[in-house]
Amino acid sequence: MEALAIDPFDSNRWTYGTGATIQGGRDLLKWDTTHNVTLQSMADGIEETAILGLISPPTGARLISAVGDICGA
């Protein structure tokens, strides 16, 4: 899973997300001139979790999920 997003209110700010983290920079407009942009972690304060289990019981809720922290810290 990957995504690239450019801030619609600030063309200089961009993010690149993978299934593991979010990276990006604040100098995208330099791409037109120097073809170099800064790539840094933009994941400050993001907690990564994973679905550890799913069950669809015959009655009641349609789906129950078990979510866990995959950080290890």
Please list the rounded mean pLDDT of every run of 10 residues in the chain (73 residues). Answer: 90 87 90 87 75 91 85 54
**What type of residue sits at position 66?**
A
pTM of structure: 0.56
Contact 24, 14 (CB under 8 A): yes
Nearest residue to 42 via CA among 70, 19, 71, 21: 21
Please report where in the chains the tokens 């993001």 appear, as a residue: 46
